[in-house]
Amino acid sequence: MKGMARMLALAAAAVSIAGAQAPPADLMATMQIFTKALGVSCNYCHTAERGSGQPEPKKEVARAMMAMTRDINAKIAAATGRSEPDATRVECVTCHRGVAIPQQLTEILTRTLKEKGVVAAAAQYRDLHKQYYGRATYDFSDDTLLGIAQRLAQSRPDDAIALLQVNLEFNPQSARTYAAIAFAYTRKLDDAAAITNLERALEIEPENGVVRGQLEQLKSYHRKKP
């Protein structure tokens, strides 16, 4: 009972800071909304032993973030001229989307690529896809890996190709991915492989004039790989 009372007291404090996002009678449900928004359990913030008086830094961060959210919502209402109940609201889930640290998938993979290499980045993509696909957390369309690989293709074509092959695992009908693989192979002076991938892209999108033009141009001066 003491533990429940403590949780209710903490929830009441959170709600007062957050601008009363839920009725006082529904405080525990409000705390559950917070944990779901961040994809965590209660002990993510409540790290210290009960009654220990030890600092809990994440609770302080949470309080500051909730105060910021309340301020943003007030500014939205003022900017739109609508009362707060009618104005668009920002909630925890707006940024967090079910993860504790709200980074885009591109940011996460780029950092892993830089610190641990392409094999680790590919494995991380597969793990995150398995855990989060179908939710609103990360963008698992062909855009994410395609964007990273396109930036790599000029200087690190092998890494670009490795990531694009992962992209095809999950987006096998992505003509853009085959075209990007083709470009990476041209950086390796492997025109035969580039032609093969452009032809595959055209099988998927036969009306794609850009890819058709690239294919015709490449065939016209087909280099032999040294």
Q: Taking all residues of the chain, what is their mean pLDDT, rounded to a whole number?
A: 84
**CA separation for the pair 128, 138 (Å, rounded):** 9
Here the tokens at position 152 are 């790599």
142 Cβ contact list (under 8 Å, min separation 6):
167, 170, 171, 174, 176, 177
Q: What is the pLDDT of residue 18?
A: 43
Q: What is the mean pLDDT of residues 218-225?
A: 76
The highest-confidence range among 3-7, 57-61, 94-98, 118-122, by mean pLDDT, is: 118-122
pLDDT digits (tens, 9 = 90+) for 151-190: 999 999 999 999 999 999 999 999 999 999 999 999 999 9
Q: State how far the Cα of 191 lies from the Cα of 88, in Å rounded to an integer.
A: 52
Average pLDDT rounded to a whole number, residues 141-155: 94
226 band by pLDDT with thresholds 50, 70 and 90:
low
Tokens 């925890």, located at residue: 92
Given 3.10.20.80, 1.25.40.10, 1.10.10.60, 3.40.50.300, which CATH number is that of 105-220?
Answer: 1.25.40.10
pLDDT tier for residue 11 given thresholds of 50, 70 and 90: very low
Rounded-to-integer distance, Cα 142 and Cα 161, Å: 14
Q: Are 125 and 113 in contact (CB under 8 A)?
A: no
CB-based burial of residue 159 (10 Å sphere; 0-12 exposed, 13-18 middle, 19+ buried)?
A: buried
Extents of the domains making up the chain: 2-96, 105-220
Q: For 95, list phi and psi in degrees, rounded to 5.
A: -100, -40
The pLDDT assigned to 170 comes to 96
Q: Using pLDDT thresholds of 50, 70 and 90, give the confidence band for residue 38.
A: confident
Which region among 15-24, 56-65, 209-218 has the lowest average model confidence (pLDDT)? 15-24
